Chains A and B, each alone.
Chain A
Amino acid sequence: MSFTDHAGRPIIAITGAGVVSSLGAGKDDNWARLTAGQSGIHRINRFSTEHLRTTIAGTVDFMTPVEAGSAALTYALAEAATLEAIRESGLSESDFGGPLFLAAPPVELEWWQRLKLDADGREAGGKEPGYDRLLLAARSGEHLDFFRSIQFGTVGQKLQERLGTRGLPVTLSTACASGATAIQLGVEAIRRGEADRVISVGTDGSVTAEALVRFSLLSALSTQNEVPEKASKPFSRDRDGFVMAEGAGALVMESLESARARGATILGILEGCGECADDFHRTRSKPDGSPAIAAVRAALDDAGVSTDDIGYVNAHGTSTPENDKMEYLSLSTVFGDRMASIPISSNKSMIGHTLTAAGAIEAVFSLHSIRTGTLPPTINHANPDPAIELDVVPNQARKAEVKRVLSNSFGFGGQNTCLVIAAEPA
């Protein structure tokens, strides 16, 4: 048996996977509900939505108390997903022994923290509400937990302490491609021979009123609030934006050689990663789709496979007018006529857009599609966009033997990252 790939590099085995989404915690719950076509999108009750154009989201409300805030939820999601993945791999959950690659949302003080500081600053003698008073509170009082929550390295640091990962954790953001980038960085580290095993995780618990306002101002969110579970409708004619959501996905990856040597169960192979940045616009893709096309091709090349070898595409499929059109253009350019017969579905129709976590969550679901021979559907597909001729596995899951999946992630700031995930070699 060969332990190296077409380019002479170590083959990367996936030996553990974990996921949390608005559908539930753990792969089993998620997969049962995902393949049943259930939506995790609901009306927001975590905070007041008055004045907001969008009042629905795929928040994860069962992990931490509301008052704990975004930073605590983001950590809790990551911890749950990584622990599930590591336990499946059979490796130590307190002395993992490999590096950590963490895709996490940017952090900042939350409003309840600013208001608390302003109140403390008034107590300390600050006259006017504002930053001078916040700074006065900061230097007069003890707010070490606030300090910890706004350091960008904190989630990684806490995970490192919890899991016993090795070295300086890498915390990264490539917007909506972040989860895929975390996986890519892990793959590259194993290929360089720096590590036998890595844990890559994408996490996002950052649905707040301000985050909704920010995306709304960019006209990125669906405003179809009436029936929350029907708002996310990738590739439909009446799609009008994505639905913000929370969750985390994690993969344990090892060199195949190392995984076999310790007798680990191989769940699948992370065959290839490709990326290409777009220099066209901060939120829009180059009209010819060339960067996304280049990213897909780079992933196929990296995996050493051709378009004929891909049996299913896990779409980025955000349900924004722009993304779904561009994703179709890109795929039909790369795959040509064959694209009409390759099933492609969007998990976001059910779990919404988990932003920083999306690439990692969708990698877990891609792997599960191969392992279970089931393709999760694109739900809410009642009104197909006639300009998008794709087999989106509409509304109902489908049984299908799939050996190899392409998983796409595209993001603001010109981020395009694609992964190729395959079944364990016979």
Chain B
Amino acid sequence: MTSPNDVVITGIGILSSLGEGAEANWTALRSFSGPVLDGDRFAPYTVHPLPEVDWSLQIAKRGDQRQMEAWQRIGTYTAGLALEDAGIKGDEALCASMDMIVAASGGERDVDVDTMILNKVAEGVDDIGVAINEVLTTELRPTLFLAQLSNLLAGNISIVHKVTGSSRTFMGEEGSGISAVQTAAARIRAGQSTHALVGGAYNAEHPDMLLGYELGHFLSRGGWAPVWEREPVEGGGIVSGSGGAFLVLESREHAEKRGAKIYCTLGPVAADQGMPGTQHTLARLERMAAEAGLAGTGMIVSSASGSHSRTADEKTFLQAHAANIPVRGVTSAFGHMRDAQFPMAVALAALSLSHGEALPPLGSAFEAEADAPSSIGVLTVGFNAAEGMAVVSKAEGAGA
């Protein structure tokens, strides 16, 4: 049964260590034999690095590229891929009326300037505050601030791709991506929006970003293992990854009217956050699973982070409430992309449904072989907080 305000996915953009574009990433996953890793640059930490990217393919002006730090470039590029995939890129009217919610916590600092200040203070200064001011005023690149500001990823997407219907930036690790998809989809379902660009991006290859996890002792220091099997690995379990995922969401009516290809339909997103601890977490996940309709799905695409206690809780939940549903921990393949975790999982579920193929197991015995599913549950349990769930279903009707 279909409704004109069903939320359908009509565009997918993915950039990751496995490649560029939805199809390239799908192909890489189908024949997944192990992740692309860099364990040297930030040793003892391992990251899933970005591949070589010709930025000018989606960000034509070099001047625009220079105005962005890496995460903004990744995001702006990936947004372009999604718009192109949806057949919206360059369509002035469709972009001008398109809503946008970007999940973006924040940018990157200038490592050289920070190191200069740390050195100066370590050498001994009369007044630390004065010394910091002196270096900052003389050394900071004037436009760096804009390349760091959370909402300037969306700002750059407006400038480069002309998406201007609305521009909202949500912040807060995985929760930002969950809320972004939840809000964009709810607005479409309620008739508040006809089409929206939603997604996130992350640059793992920056010491300040690693520091953000490691202050909570969350990073793996023993390299990679499948996300379900990181308890024995030294450190906190997370291997982060550079990349981004953007989706074009539309009302069914809007997509069909313009003859768009429809990947799948997206159900309501259940989201919550609350007390830590296994019992509290399980209670929330059970309630959300009922709300989202997880039980009826043929597969679960999970963005489990590998962080020990939270992923253990997730495994307990899956074993107790989804024992017969094969699960895929896609972060094993891509690394943890913080804000982009939930949009990425939704994107991969959509690709699986549109290809009529199950995602293969990604190196863990926790992931059972599976037949092609007709609906997939998407699950994100944030590494520190926030949980989200949704069900995507095979497209019906025109455009499928």
Contacts and interface: CB of A to CB of B under 8 A. Distances in A.
A412 B152 contact: yes
A171 B142 CA distance: 27
Contact of B154 (A104, A188, A217, A413): A413
A202 to B, nearest CB: 13
Interface string B306-333: 0000000000000000000000000000
A115 B121 CA distance: 8
B170 interface: yes
A173 B171 contact: yes
A277 B160 CA distance: 12
A264 to B, nearest CB: 25
Given A51-B133, A213-B136, A147 B208 contact: no
B114 interface: yes
B179 A191 contact: no
Contacts of B169: 172-174
Contacts of B165: 276-277
B215 A218 contact: no
B172 A174 contact: no
Contacts of A91: none
Interface in A194-237: 194, 209-210, 213-218
- Chain B's interface size range is 35 or more
A138 B192 contact: no
Given A109-B211, A278-B164, A414 B155 contact: yes
Given A114-B118, A118-B122, A144-B216, A153 B159 contact: no
B151 A174 contact: yes
A156 interface: yes
Nearest to B387: A168
A168 B386 contact: yes
A283 interface: yes
Contact of B146 (A147, A156, A169, A218): A218
Contacts of A335: none
A194 B149 contact: no
A50 to B, nearest CB: 5
A288 to B, nearest CB: 14
Contact of B151 (A109, A129, A279, A413): A413
Given A175-B149, A414-B159, 9 more contacts: A135-B211, A168-B175, A174-B168, A213-B137, A217-B142, A277-B163, A278-B158, A282-B146, A414-B167
Interface of B: 45, 67, 100, 105-106, 109, 111, 114-115, 117-119, 121-122, 127-130, 132-134, 136-137, 140, 142-146, 148-152, 154-156, 158-159, 162-173, 175-176, 178-179, 182-183, 186-187, 189-190, 192, 207-208, 210-212, 214-217, 219, 221, 235, 271-274, 384-388
5 closest A-B pairs by CB: A413-B155, A153-B172, A131-B207, A48-B129, A147-B216
27 contacts: A51-B134, A106-B148, A114-B117, A114-B118, A118-B122, A130-B119, A134-B118, A134-B211, A135-B210, A150-B215, A151-B172, A151-B212, A151-B384, A153-B176, A168-B271, A168-B388, A171-B172, A172-B170, A173-B151, A174-B151, A214-B144, A218-B145, A278-B158, A411-B151, A412-B149, A413-B152, A413-B167
